A and B are shown apart, each in its own frame.
Chain A
C-alpha cells in the first residue's frame, strides 16, 4: 500500500514538474521571439517587470528602492551563509554504531 502511495506521489510530482518545465520553456522561448531573440533585452524587460529596475523621481524614492533590494539580498545571505558554512564544515568523522540487544 505504502509503495502505491509513494508511486502516486512521485507521479504527481513528476507530472507537475514536467508541466511547469514545459510551460516555462515555452514562455521563455515566446519571450525571446518577441524581443527578436535578444537575451539581454529579455533580461532588461524582466528586470523592469519585476520592479528591480524602475524610474524614481525623488531621492527618497531612490533610497527606499535600493535599500529594499539590498535588504532582500541581505536576508537571503543570512539564510545562505549558515547553510554554506554547514556544507563546507561537514563532519567527516565516521561514527560506529552497533545494535545492542537486550537490556
Chain B
C-alpha cells in the first residue's frame, strides 16, 4: 500500500502545481481527493491520532478556562502573573517569528534572490507565530470581545502593552498582506497579486519598523518590574536590545528548523527548486545567525559590566545564567561557525534546534523562573501545560493545512 502523501501526490501533485485555475474550491481544499478519501487518509495518519488526543482533553480545558476563569487552569497569581501560558506562548513564540521580516528584508531590500525559495516559508512562520501568540494572549486575558480596547476604546499610550498591542495588530496586518500573493495564486486572483507586488517594498519597510520596535517593546515590558527579576536577567538600559538582537538569530534558527522538518515530512509538497537549494540556504541563514549571536553575547557582557554584576556571576543563579548562555548561545555559535566553514548542514540544523530551545529557555527564565526569584518557585499546573499543548496543536494543524495547499514550498507555474 502506498503512503498517504503518495496518494495525494498522484491525485493532485502535478495538477496543483501546473494550474490552479481549472480546479474547483472543493478540489483545492480536499487536495483533489473525494471527501470520503480525504477523511480516510486523515484517520490513517498516526499524527492525527495524537493531535486528536491532545485536543480531546484540551478543548474541555479551554472551555473550563472561559467558564470559570483563569484560576481554574493555572496557578497564576499576583506574584507570578504570566506563567507558562505567556512565558512560552507570547514571549517564546514572538522571537521565533522574527523570520518574516528578516527574510523579506533579505530578499526584497537586499535583493538576495538566492533566499527566494524559503521567503514564503519564513513569512508564513512569522505570520502564524504572531497570530498564535495573540491566541495565547487571548486565552490568558479572557474577554476576547475587548481586544479592540487598546485600538479604539481606551488607548493607554503610556503603557508598553499599548505599544505591544498596536505593533502586533499592525504587523499582523502587514504579514497577512505579504502572504496574499501566495493566497492569490491559490485562489486564482491575479489582480490581488499584482496590487501586492506594487506595494511590496512599502510592506517590507513597514515590517522592519514594526517588528524591530515590537521585539524591543516586549523586552521593555520587564522594565515595569525591574526589582522583581534577578539582576542578571534584567538590564533596563539594554533589555530592549537583548530581546531585539536575540530575535534575529531566533527567527533565522526557527526557519532552519522548520525547513528541515518540512523537507523530511512533506517532501511530496516541495518542488525541486526548494529541495535542491535548501542546504545552501541553511548555511547562509546559519552564517547570519552566528553573526547575530556573537553580537548578542557581547551586549549581554556589556550589560553585566554596566550594572557591575561580576560577583553575581559566581553565585548559584550566576552559574545558571552562564549555563543558559553557554548551552543556548555559545554552543550553537560554535556549531554554526564550524558547520558553515566546513559545510556541515546536518550539524548546523541540530545547532539551530539547540538555539531555538535556548531562546525559549531564556524567555521562560525571564518571565517565570527568575521572576520573583526570592519568593517560592512557580510550578505550572498540568492543565496550563495541556492548554499550551492544545494551542500548539491548533498551530500545527493550521501550519500543515496551509503548507499542503498554498504555494509556499512550491512555485505556481503560470
| Chain A nearest Cβ from B407, distance in angstroms | 32
**Residues of the A chain whose Cβ atoms lie less than 8 Å from the Cβ of B295:** 81
**Residues of the B chain whose Cβ atoms lie less than 8 Å from the Cβ of A85:** 291
B291 adjacent to A88 (CB under 8 Å): yes
| Chain B nearest Cβ from A85, distance in angstroms | 7
| Chain A nearest Cβ from B335, distance in angstroms | 12
Q: Which of A44, A70, A81, A90 has a CB less than 8 Å from the CB of B305?
A: A70
Indicate with 1 or 0, residue by residue over A68-100, a CB within 8 angstroms of chain B CB atoms. Answer: 011001100100110011011110100000000
B310 adjacent to A47 (CB under 8 Å): yes
- With contact pairs A81-B294, A84-B291 given, residues A92 and B343 touching in the complex (Cβ less than 8 Å): yes
**Residues of the B chain whose Cβ atoms lie less than 8 Å from the Cβ of A73:** 298, 301-302, 305
**Residues of the A chain whose Cβ atoms lie less than 8 Å from the Cβ of B315:** 40
Q: How far is the CA of A92 from the CA of B315 in the complex (A)?
A: 44
Chain A: number of interface residues, binned into ranges: 20 to 34
Q: Which of B294, B301, B307, B343 has a CB less than 8 Å from the CB of A84?
A: B294
**Residues of the B chain whose Cβ atoms lie less than 8 Å from the Cβ of A70:** 302, 305-306
**Residues of the B chain whose Cβ atoms lie less than 8 Å from the Cβ of A62:** 308
With both beta carbons as reference points, the residue of chain A lying nearest to B301 in the complex is identified as A73
**Residues of the B chain whose Cβ atoms lie less than 8 Å from the Cβ of A13:** none
Interface of B is mostly: helix
B305 adjacent to A43 (CB under 8 Å): no
Interface of A is mostly: helix
**Residues of the A chain whose Cβ atoms lie less than 8 Å from the Cβ of B307:** 66
- With contact pairs A43-B314, A73-B298, A73-B301 given, residues A88 and B341 touching in the complex (Cβ less than 8 Å): yes
- With contact pairs A88-B337, A88-B340, A92-B343 given, residues A74 and B291 touching in the complex (Cβ less than 8 Å): no
**Residues of the A chain whose Cβ atoms lie less than 8 Å from the Cβ of B311:** 44, 47, 53
Indicate with 1 or 0, residue by residue over A21-56, a CB within 8 angstroms of chain B CB atoms. Answer: 000000000000000000010011001000011000
A44 adjacent to B298 (CB under 8 Å): no
Question: Which residues from chain A sit less than 8 Å from chain B, CB to CB?
Answer: 40, 43-44, 47, 52-53, 62, 65-66, 69-70, 73-74, 77, 80-81, 84-85, 87-90, 92
Question: Which residues from chain B sit less than 8 Å from chain A, CB to CB?
Answer: 287, 290-291, 294-295, 298, 301-302, 305-308, 310-311, 314-315, 336-337, 340-341, 343
